[in-house]
Amino acid sequence: MYELVTLTKNNINDFNKLNGLKSNFNKLNRDFFKVYHNQNGFQQFLQKRKVKLLKKNSDYIGYIWSENIRDTIYKIEAINVINDIQSLEIYRLLINSIKLYSKIYYECEKNEYNFTLLKDLGFNKTSGMIEMTLNLDNFILPPSHQNITFQKLIKGKDEKLRCSIQNRIFEREDRIPLDIDDIYYDELQSYYYDDGAIFIKNGNTYIGYGQIIIKESVPYIVNFGLVKEWQNKGYGKLLLSHLLNILHNNSYKIVKIKVDPNNYTAIKLYKYFGFTKEKEIYTWILCK
């Protein structure tokens, strides 16, 4: 017999054990107690009401933690069932604790079973990204191009240029253009890497931009691209090579990059250099 119950002081220790296994279903499941222990008593009381525990007889076997973002929009912060019970109906019981006529969002990193289960529950996969990783130990530069040069961004001078080039590279109807304050803000962040903000030029023409940032000692390549009229001509390989060479020369061993799963051209380029897929993350939506 299954029963859904509210989180209380009487079962919070049982929930703590379930919370410790949160990554079994999805590595992006949030840690409830990291939030809970930073709240005052009244906030903790309200926070507990956002969790539903699933009991089978006298054993706690699963839970769902959801936040009401606004009106009928909810976000699942974490959901999991233990004891190797991956029954569709058990997860459906947890999902059904969220009220009817709601739109439910959930961010999930793919593993062997969770994407299939979410699909069977009626969730639809929407926006996503693939994170790819490259080992830099054996990196070899391709031949140089006589007309191509690279220029490091100079703070206090090149922000307007970077802003213009990035807006041209990533121009889309649904994208809000950058303004120069966005560039200044980026330069103030702890991840910003002075030697990794690079323009690519063909003669005197700026044709693209790429950037290295450092997060928790791991380099990522971001904001990488070419202006539309210079795409698909081999210049992406030259720019990416230059960025990888910067990292190789500074003794970094790996580099990561994130890419839209539908950007097949970019994925092909990264695979050419030896990048391999490390994780795949999507936002899923259920209209209940």
pLDDT of 173 reads: 76
Q: What is the mean pLDDT of residues 197-206?
A: 97
pTM over 0.85: no
Whole-Å CA distances, 149 to 46, 152, 172, 242, 250: 58, 10, 28, 10, 20
pLDDT digits (tens, 9 = 90+) for 124-179: 999 899 999 999 987 667 667 889 999 999 999 999 999 999 999 999 877 899 99
The CATH number of domain 132-280 is 3.90.1580.10: no
Q: What is the CATH number of domain 2-122?
A: 3.40.630.30
1 pLDDT above the threshold of 90:
no
85 pLDDT above the threshold of 70:
no
Closest CA to 19 of 69, 73, 75, 77: 77
Burial 139-151 (b: 16+ CB within 10 A, else e): eeeeeeeeebebe
> Vertex 56, ends 98 and 111: CA angle to 5°?
65
268 pLDDT above the threshold of 90:
yes
pLDDT digits (tens, 9 = 90+) for 213-265: 999 999 999 999 999 999 999 999 999 999 999 999 999 999 999 999 999 99
pLDDT digits (tens, 9 = 90+) for 30-43: 999 999 999 999 99
50 vs 47: CA distance, rounded Å: 6
Q: What is the mean pLDDT of residues 68-82?
A: 95
Mean pLDDT (the chain, rounded): 94
The domain segmentation of the chain, as residue ranges, is: 2-122, 132-280
